[in-house]
Structure formats: structure tokens, C-alpha cells
């Protein structure tokens, strides 16, 4: 069983039984998890917006290379949907960045936006609007209630796997068929 003292840098995989329309078949990257609660970003829920469209709204002078213009912006969660969160490969110099591990940073400041569309930005990025948050003990209870499975985060899934294949790729890391799992806790 996963030690859930901290799920930072883990993926949460929505169980097939999770029927909440927002989180159904979602894959969440956990950015922060402590006794006070947790914060994560859904990384497989596309919006209708592209990076070029986002930058036209936020920084009309931003240079957007053709190969980055069509990057899809994701719905990161139901909280603060007007606020952006960028998961990216390490690159310092932004006014509000936190290193989550050796391979992933999260930046929430607008100064990164103008660089995301060209070679000045991080090598790889996932751009989300909004986040998911849990109060103290809430995420642990949802895991006990079999709403989520946890697996260590994988940068290939985060940055390389197509959005529509991320949930299944994370499930495959578990080595089990989640469709065969019982919807309730069992006792041995």
C-alpha cells in the first residue's frame, strides 16, 4: 500500500467508480500534500483554448512559434479557473516558481507566459487553468473511499503522452486492470 504521508509528486488516478462529472477518468498531478491539505492539477482535461489564444488574451506582444501555438490548455480543476498553473521542466528565473522535484517545477506568475510560446520558455510544459484542492484529511478520506489510486508521477506521462492517453498510461503503471477492482474495501 502507498504511504500517504505525502503524495506530492504522485499521480492520482480517478477510479472508474468516481462519478463526479468534473473528475471522472481524471489524472491529477499532486503539487502539494501535507497535514493541512492537498493541491493538485488535472492533467488530462482539455479546454477549447490553445496556447496562442491564451497568449492573445494575456500578452498580445508574445511571440508564439508555430509548433507551440496549438498546445492545448487544460482545465486543472474547479478552483480559481481564471488562474494559470504551469507544470514545466526545470528553468529558473520566474517570479513565482517552486521546484517539485528534480524534473518538474510549477510556476504561477504571469512572467512565464510570454516565454511559453517560444524558445525562451521551458523545454516542456503543461498549462492548466484552475486547480483541485482538499482540506485537511479530505484527500485521505477519498482514497480510503476508493475514489482515487495513487502512483508515483512519471514525467513521460506528464510531458510526452498525448492528453487523451494519460489516464490509461498511469493506470498501466499500476500493473492491474482497474476495471476488475472491487468498488468497496475488502477485509482479509
The number of angstroms, rounded, from the C-alpha of 98 to the middle of its chain's C-alpha atoms is 15
Work out the end-to-end distance of the chain between its first and last CA atoms, rounded to an integer number of angstroms: 14
As for how many domains the chain has, the answer is: 1
The answer as to whether 86 is a domain residue is: yes
The answer as to whether 182 is a domain residue is: no
The answer as to whether 186 is a domain residue is: no
The answer as to whether 146 is a domain residue is: yes
The answer as to whether 139 is a domain residue is: yes
The answer as to whether 181 is a domain residue is: no
Specify the pLDDT at position 18: 84
Residue 29 grid coordinates: 498531478
The answer as to whether 67 is a domain residue is: yes
Specify the pLDDT at position 187: 43
Range among 22-31, 91-100, 112-121, 173-182 with highest mean pLDDT value:
22-31
What CATH number is associated with residue 61? 3.40.1740.10
Q: Considering only 34-43, 107-116, 134-143, 156-165, which range has the smallest mean pLDDT?
A: 107-116
Mean pLDDT of the 150-173 span: 96
Confidence of residue 92 (pLDDT cuts 50, 70, 90): confident
In sequence order, which residues have a C-beta less than 8 Å from that of residue 126 and are 6 or more positions away? 29, 41, 43, 74, 86, 87, 88, 158, 159
CA–CA distance from 151 to each of 172, 173, 175, 187 (Å)? 10, 7, 11, 22
pTM of the model: 0.90
The answer as to whether 151 is a domain residue is: yes
Q: Exposed, middle or buried by CB within 10 Å (0-12, 13-18, 19+), for 38?
A: buried
118 lies in which domain range? Answer: 10-176
Give pLDDT tens digits for 31-77: 999 999 999 999 999 999 999 999 999 888 888 899 999 999 999 99
Amino acid at each position: 500500500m502507498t504511504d500517504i504521508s505525502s503524495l506530492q509528486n504522485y499521480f492520482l488516478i480517478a477510479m472508474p467508480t468516481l462519478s463526479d462529472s468534473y473528475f471522472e477518468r481524471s489524472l491529477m498531478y499532486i503539487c502539494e500534500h501535507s497535514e493541512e491539505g492537498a493541491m493538485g492539477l488535472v492533467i488530462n482535461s482539455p479546454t477549447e483554448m490553445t496556447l496562442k489564444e491564451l497568449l492573445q488574451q494575456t500578452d498580445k506582444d508574445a511571440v508564439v512559434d508555430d509548433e507551440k501555438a496549438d498546445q492545448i490548455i487544460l482545465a486543472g480543476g474547479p478552483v480559481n479557473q481564471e488562474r494559470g498553473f504551469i507544470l514545466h521542466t526545470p528553468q529558473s528565473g520566474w517570479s513565482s516558481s517552486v521546484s517539485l522535484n528534480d524534473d518538474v517545477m510549477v510556476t504561477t506568475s504571469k512572467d512565464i507566459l510570454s516565454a511559453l510560446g517560444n524558445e525562451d520558455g521551458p523545454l516542456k510544459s503543461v498549462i492548466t487553468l484552475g486547480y483541485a484542492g482538499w482540506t485537511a484529511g479530505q484527500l485521505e478520506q477519498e482514497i480510503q473511499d476508493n475514489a482515487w489510486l495513487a502512483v508515483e508521477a512519471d514525467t513521460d506521462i506528464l510531458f510526452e503522452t498525448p492528453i487523451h492517453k494519460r489516464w490509461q498510461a498511469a493506470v498501466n503503471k499500476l500493473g492491474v486492470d482497474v476495471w476488475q477492482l472491487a468498488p468497496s474495501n475488502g477485509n482479509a
